[in-house]
Structures are given as C-alpha cells and as structure tokens.
Structure 1
Amino acid sequence: MSKLKMLVLSLHNYHDTHGNFPPAFTADSQGQPLHSWRTLILPYLEEMPLYSKLNFDEPWNSSANARWLNDQELHIYRSPQRPESSIADETHYFSIVDDETLLRPGGGVSFRDIADGSSNTIALIEAAGRGVRWHEPRDLSMDEAIDLLVGESDETHEWVEPGFFISTHYRGDGLYPRNVAFADGRVRSIGYVPTRELARAALTRAGGEEIPAEIDSGEYNRTKTVVGYTVHWRRVLSTTLFVGLAVGPFLRRRNPLEATGVEEVNHEDTKQLVSRSTSHS
C-alpha cells in the first residue's frame, strides 16, 4: 500500500471517529496555528505513544512539544521517490488549505459536504523539497497547489527511479505525473493539468465541476537530468552467488585423462602417458 493511500485512509478513520475530517490545523483563540492535521492523525498511523506525549494547548514548536517532535522522522511522511533529505523530519505530503477544500482551516467538513463527489476532489498532494516539517502546521494554499498541478511552480525536484541492480537519481524543475490522493481514498498519478481553472476544479469540494479527462493525460517532464546512480551491491552479490551455485555443476568437467584411466607421469622432465593397467618393469 502506498504512503499516500495510508494517509488518506487515516483521514477516513479520523472521520469515522469524529464525524468529520480533521482541520488543516488547530488554532488558538487568536487564530494562530498550533498543530497540523498530520499530527492529529497520528493515532491512526500506529503512533499513539508519540501522540499521547504532546500538549495540544501549546504550539507544535513550544519547548514542551519540541522535545518530542524535533528531528522526529516518520517515514510515512517521506516520499519513496525522495528517500533522503537534509531535514530529518521533512514531509512530502500536503493538504490544500482553503475554505473550499477538504481540509479547511476550521475543519468540520464531512463526506456529505463534498458536493462534487469524493472521487472528483483531491485531498492530498505529493510535493518534495518544500522544507516543511511533518509536525509543522503549514501546507499548500490554493494558488500554490494550482501552481504545482499546472507546472508553474519554481520548485526543484530530486527523485529516484528504482531498479533491481541500479537505481537512477534525477533532478528536474517539474515532475509529472504528480501523485495525488482523492477524497474517496483513490491514489492516482495525474498528468500535467493544462489550465488553472481545471486544476481548481479538481481541488474544490463543492464547486459544481467534474474532473475532465485532460487531467489524466500521462507523464510530462519539463526537465529530467541524471545526477547519479546507486548500485545495489547486496543484490548483485547475492544474484552472482545464486547463479554460480545453480550453473556451476553444469559447467564442471572431469579431467579427460581421469575419464580414460590414463595417468600422467614425469620422468626427468619428460612427460609420458602410461596406462594404469600396465605394470612397471
């Protein structure tokens, strides 16, 4: 199961418990963000021990919470296409923060509020390299999300295409298809979205639009540059050993002299072949 799939199903489990989806973030009486939706769904990701240590009346970066959250890496929030990062607790999965989206700032959105249909509403977007920590209450604005979908973002991607023996590392200024999770739980890699209007239609929950077929238009890369390779030496060595053990017996040949019962004997630097059945005088 993909990480995006696990995250959107955790949103569903939160909905089953609370009757609605989590807010994009919790806030204090002044409207200042306290905690992210990524923190609120920890119990549904088998992270209840960490969740129970947090003080939700204080901000995510308060001294009481920072002791548990700082540099706390959770692999569920790290894209498999970007396994390494200079920020240990970076997230690559974002909600869209807007009153018209699934995870609105004040929360309270339920399935019955998705007038466009849960299969037509994007809930989460994968985006690497934004420098956001998973417990930080910061996600994508509507404009930022649209920029990502239509390819107008200035972000730089680094990603890995895994191979059995060698994985290839790439860098580019736009990577498509982009992985997204819909409100119904489906995860898809959608292609380049040609207009901002179409992108907005896919992000809002009750705009009366349907996602057109153009969005699922396949792969589109603006740039794609190879920046390195990773050789999986353990697989290379284990495969070599397996092949050697499997093929070795078929390649082994008996000495033809042994097969005919002939013995090779040296007499004063002169090699003579004599039959084992002949007696020596």
Structure 2
Amino acid sequence: MRAAAKKSPSSSVMRIILIVLVVVFLLGVTVSYLWVQPYLKMSKSVDHLKRIILFVHNHEDKYHALPNGYPAGAKHRFSWRVQLLPFMGAQGKSLFDRFHFDEPWDSPHNLKVAKQMPDIYRTPFAPEDSIHTSFVAIADPQGAFPEPETPEHRLSFNSIVDGTGQTVGIVHCEGTGIVWTEPRDINIDEFVQLAKTGRLNPPSKGYAPMVVRVAMMDGSVAPVLRDVSEETLRAICTREGHEARPKDFK
C-alpha cells in the first residue's frame, strides 16, 4: 500500500494566510461602509435642503410672496411645505389637489392625505414610513417665516433687509415630531438649542449631527458649527436685525 501523501506545511500556511486576508478584506469593507454611510445620508439631506429652498424661490417668483401656510382660498392654515407641492411636478400637484383647504390641517381627511409625505421632506436618517418632517423653517416673528397675522399677511424677498445670503430659511433637524402638513416650525431659541446640541429641547429623537445644515434664503446651504456664538446664531435668523456679517459664520 502507498503511504498517504503528507500535506506540505507551506500549503497549510498559505491557506491560513489566505483566510486571514479574506477576513481582513471583509472587515475593511464593512467598516468602510459603516463609516461612509452617515456622509452619504447627509449628502442626500443637503440635496433635499437645496431643492426645498429652490421651491421656495419658485413660489416667490410666481406669487411675489413667500409661502405663509395659506394656499389660495384656504380657510385654515397649513404648513408652507404644503404650499410648495405644486412646484414638485405632476405628483406634487396631484397630492396638493387632494387636500381639503376648507378643513383644518388635522381633519380626518387631511391627515389621511398627509400619510403620503413627499420623500423630499424626509431624510435617510428618518424612518421610511414617517410623516414627521426633517426640515423646518425659522417661524419666529423676526425670521423669514413668521406666523402670519392674517391670510393676506405675506413677506417677500424684499422683506429680508439683512440680505437673503445672511438670513436662515430652512433647517435640517431630525426627530422634530412635526407632521409635515402641520403649521408649526421652530423659533430662534429652538434653533440656538439645535445648533449647540444637534437636538431640539425637549430632546428630539433620532440622528444628532455635530454640524447642523441650513439653507440660507439666497438658496445656498451652509454648515453651522457648534462653536458659533449664540449672538451669531440669533443674528443669522433675523431678517432685519441690521447686523454685520458675523465673522464666525461663513
């Protein structure tokens, strides 16, 4: 009988090395994926910001006024987000036409329609079935989107005395708990809290970025670092505070 062939020690070593290399490669791919994912998600969120502020510009171009939550003929106030639907193509216009503007935003019918939130108001950080918006405006009396005293009370770009490039319009914020059709956003105090901590107060749930992204009223998107002073944060939220361009915000 022939003696069984002995395995070469070198072949066993090569097999072990190959297995180790494969494991290291797979770990590297996994780590890279996990590291890159938040950046890819944030990139998409920034794209949504740019598109939303573009729709705001389209609204102002057509009506010579910024959206104030009162679509033409509406008896009740909705969100400015609803007013932008007609500028989102046929699908947005179709969704807009399904709302009953003679009813409150939270009527049974309108809440049913609200379940079809456009993806543009949701980011990859939010659940896919969420109807809570990830984008809010500065709805402060001194901001670009103040709560209107009457349906006829509307601002325009001419109302932004400080300049559209120096005034915050739309803010990316996760875990707002705000239904996208709801006529509710954040005030300046809440924006300061968000910029300093990544969350609203009381603490919002979900992703808390180290850098909050905002869309300025001129259409640009800017990062707000946490070391920006509170004075600056308040200055960039007002439309006619007559402040000089803050040095710690570029």
Identity of aligned residues (%): 29
Q: How far apart in 2 are the matches of 1:138 and 1:201?
A: 22
Runs of 4+ in 1 over 6 A off after TM superposition: none
Identify which of 237, 242, 248 aligns with 1:203: 237
Asked if the contact 1:79–1:126 (Cα under 8 Å) also holds between the matched residues in 2, the reply is no
What's 1:93 paired with?
Answer: 135
What's 1:50 paired with?
Answer: 95
What's 1:146 paired with?
Answer: 192
Question: What's the secondary structure of 1:10's corresponding residue?
Answer: helix
What's 1:213 paired with?
Answer: 247
Cα distance, 1:83 vs structure 2: 4.0
Cα distance, 1:74 vs structure 2: 1.8
What RMSD, in angstroms, separates the aligned Cα atoms of the two structures?
2.3
Unaligned runs of 5+ in 2: 1-45
Q: How far apart in 2 are the matches of 1:156 and 1:64?
A: 28
Alignment CA distance shift 1:56-1:208 (3 Å): same
- Greater helix proportion: 2
Unaligned runs of 5+ in 1: 160-173, 217-281
What's 2:212 paired with?
Answer: 178
Q: How far apart in 1 are the matches of 2:139 and 2:63?
A: 20
What's 1:37 paired with?
Answer: 80
Highest relative contact order (Cα 8 Å, sep 6+), 1 or 2? Answer: 2
2:52 counterpart letter in structure 1 = L
Alignment CA distance shift 1:94-1:108 (3 Å): same
1:3 counterpart letter in structure 2 = H
Aligned residues: 194
- Greater strand proportion: 1
1:10 counterpart letter in structure 2 = F
Structure 2 residue 120 is the aligned partner of structure 1 residue 76: yes
Cα distance, 1:158 vs structure 2: 3.9
Question: What's the secondary structure of 2:77's corresponding residue?
Answer: strand
Q: Give a deviation string over 1:215-250, Cα, whole Å, max 9, x none.
A: 35xxxxxxxxxxxxxxxxxxxxxxxxxxxxxxxxxx
Q: Give a deviation string over 1:121-151, Cα, whole Å, max 9, x none.
A: 0001100012111111111022111211233
Q: Give a deviation string over 1:77-124, Cα, whole Å, max 9, x none.
A: 0123x1426x62121000011221111211511111111111000001
